[in-house]
Chain A
Amino acid sequence: MTPALVCERLVKRYGDKTVVDRVGFHIDEGEAYGLLGPNGAGKTTTISMLVGLLRPDEGSVRVGGIDVDEDPVAAKRLIGYVPQEIALYPELTARENLRYFGRLYGLPRRELTSRIGEVLDLVGLTGRGDDKVDTYSGGMKRRTNIAVALLHRPRLLILDEPTVGVDPQSRVAILDRVEALVGEGMSLLYTSHYMEEVERVCTRVGIIDQGRVVADGTKRELVAELGGTDRVELTLDGDVTAASEKLRAVEGVSEAVVTGSSSIRLLVAGGRHLLPALLAAVGDAGAVTGVEVVEPDLEAAFLHLTGSTLRD
């Protein structure tokens, strides 16, 4: 079967800054793929090239086997694109927004009316469809933002950080809907800097940092690369910078980064056994107030691959 999306060696430069650097990955039909990376990693720029908004300096994109550069209109018909920003007319109602974009996607009037009902239902906004978007909460706006992209039943849904600025309840609701859509066979590209979201929704993950996809695989594959390394989160009162220096010198510690004014994240081979050594190493740099040993996860993989954390 043709993959839902294939991109190869995508490059985008602004001036002499290479913002996207030879990015390539593929998404199989019905697969949910996550691009995980911190702010400024190049996720949005990559997506802009995938959906035909931005012409890559190098590289190619195929959506459902169609080259985006050669036949952008046909390729775009297969994509449901949800911009990172709320791309709605605030002075219009959700229904009016949906009608306008639906018409732009070429849906016939009658079909459009029923589809609008369906997608409003899908995102749980049936009762509020005739209210102005202006009056919505952040979560409702996000959900409407997604609804617009679903009108034309796209084969590939592209969500760019769909939960930014959303209350926890709405976030869960959004993730539920997205999972349901994937369950129905829709292919998905999901970008986020939230590890939990990508871990939950996506079967395969690309880790992107400073414009490069540094690793790509299932969560299991990525974590396996850590080779039995645990993630340890330390909290302490004192000089975190000095403490992190000392911790890095401990045998078995591969990374030690400051993640807050009183927190340090470590990658430690055989984390549990090394705890006493870690506490000793901190010494008079501060008083340790908490220690948490976490099963190897994407956050640990990210730290392992890039030497930095997802959220700064």
Chain B
Amino acid sequence: MRALLVVAGHELRSRLRDGTAPLIALVAPILLATLFGLALGGDDDPPLKATIGVVDLDGGEFPASVQREALNTDELKGVLTFRQYPDEAAARSAVDGGETGAALVFPAGFSEGVGAGRGGKVSVLESPQSPLAGVVARSMVDRISALVEARTLAVRASLEAGVPADRVQLFVEENGAAGPALSLVGDPVAGGRVDLAVHYGAGMAVMFAFFVVGTTARSLLVERQNSTLDRMRAAPVPLWTALVGKSAVGFGLALFSMCATWLSSVLVFGASWGDPLGVFPLLLAHVFAATAIVMLVASRAKTDAQADGYTLGVAFVFAFLGGSIVPVYNLPEWLRGISLITPNGWVSAGLSELAGTGAGPSAVLVPIAVVTGIGVVAGTVALLGFRKGRFA
């Protein structure tokens, strides 16, 4: 234990001495998070402005009420504009041309189908250029689908119960099964639209955690090349002392870095990342996973330059796939699933939950568990490699 402290103290002094630690742990992530936040987010602006096209091939009551309800929700008031298009092709070219961010297509006979309990399906046209409109549109469709489903079930149940078909719609509506027609209040785009200041703040924090730990991995490789690692391993302490002592410093600095980026995001943008009791354990789990992953890839490196390269590669690939740079919903469908093999993806998802819905710590238990699990697996493999003489 004392030897661990000796190694850690020495590592910490070296990191502070060489001056890159403050740069990588504090200046760079905070600066980038702030710049991204200023450029793309911010709390004073409406979080988004979206124009959504509507193709109403139905002409019935349903599409009209959806639009009315949406425009009346607190969240979307003043944010959302609907624009009508005669057919899907017109809407498609409007979306592609950037005139509108996304479009909803109500098929002919939609209202009638729903009324008769046959259900119905609204489709969405999206463009990668305006992800936010796409998210809003998709979330509206989700709500519509839920409503349609509820109403379809109610109609079916009523029919089964013997209500005559020509009276069933009225019956269902009178009995409230249709519910308040459409409600988007609260979280129109939960899971997709977290304030961008939060999104980029978290993304940078998550990505730089890898870089911060990377400086420690690098120093381990430098010490191997210098033979000072041999000297440490020849000292009367367990062989893992050097690895663990140094990793602990990487861990501590990365945690410090993430918390500092978090704090700066709160101070600069007044953005909330959600319940701190949920955020902190999530960040803690991420730092653990990042440390284990970086140590694992570094244990496969032969020189410090190689270790740098590996760390950089892993950090960027994970950041990209995990939504730390580009929001996950901007990625093609098949990549979205892959985001969940990265700790970044789980942290993003967890933070969206915390910040986007105001959920409590229990909402992120799964992300925390998964990220910790990723860390345990990577750490175990790294230690096994170490036993076999890696870093020797």
Contacts and interface: CB of A to CB of B under 8 A. Distances in A.
Contacts of A73: 236-238
Interface of B is mostly: helix
Contacts of B6: 100, 103-104
Interface in B231-270: 231-239
A89 B226 contact: yes
Nearest to A73: B236
Interface stretch (A47-55, A247-255, A274-282, A295-303): A47-55
B234 A52 contact: yes
A106 B226 contact: no
B17 to A, nearest CB: 7
A255 B382 CA distance: 52
A53 B236 CA distance: 11
Contact of A148 (B7, B17, B231, B239): B231
B13 to A, nearest CB: 9
A81 interface: yes
A94 to B, nearest CB: 14
A83 interface: yes
Contact of A74 (B227, B236, B239): B236
Interface in A38-54: 48, 51-54
A25 interface: no
B389 interface: yes
Contacts of B238: 72-73
B216 to A, nearest CB: 16
Interface string B215-232: 000000000001110111
Contacts of B10: 100
Q: Chain B contact residues (Cβ within 8 angstroms of A): what range?
A: 20 to 34
Nearest to A77: B236
A58 interface: no
Interface residues of A, number: 29
A40 B52 CA distance: 74
B228 A79 contact: no
A86 B225 CA distance: 10
A176 interface: no
A91 B226 CA distance: 12
Interface in B286-309: none
Contacts of B235: 76, 101, 104-105
Contacts of A85: 226-227, 230
B381 interface: no
A12 B49 CA distance: 69
A257 interface: no
B241 to A, nearest CB: 8
Given A54-B392, A85-B226, A100-B6, A106 B234 contact: no
- The 10 A-B pairs with the shortest beta carbon distances in the complex, nearest first, are A87-B227, A85-B227, A77-B236, A76-B236, A87-B231, A81-B234, A104-B235, A103-B6, A83-B227, A73-B236
Given A53-B233, A76-B235, A104-B3, 15 more contacts: A48-B230, A51-B234, A81-B231, A83-B227, A83-B230, A83-B234, A87-B228, A88-B228, A89-B228, A90-B226, A100-B6, A101-B231, A104-B235, A105-B235, A105-B236
16 contacts: A48-B230, A52-B233, A53-B392, A79-B234, A81-B231, A84-B227, A85-B230, A87-B226, A89-B226, A91-B17, A100-B6, A100-B10, A101-B232, A104-B7, A104-B237, A148-B231
Interface of B: 2-3, 6-7, 10, 14, 17, 226-228, 230-239, 389, 392
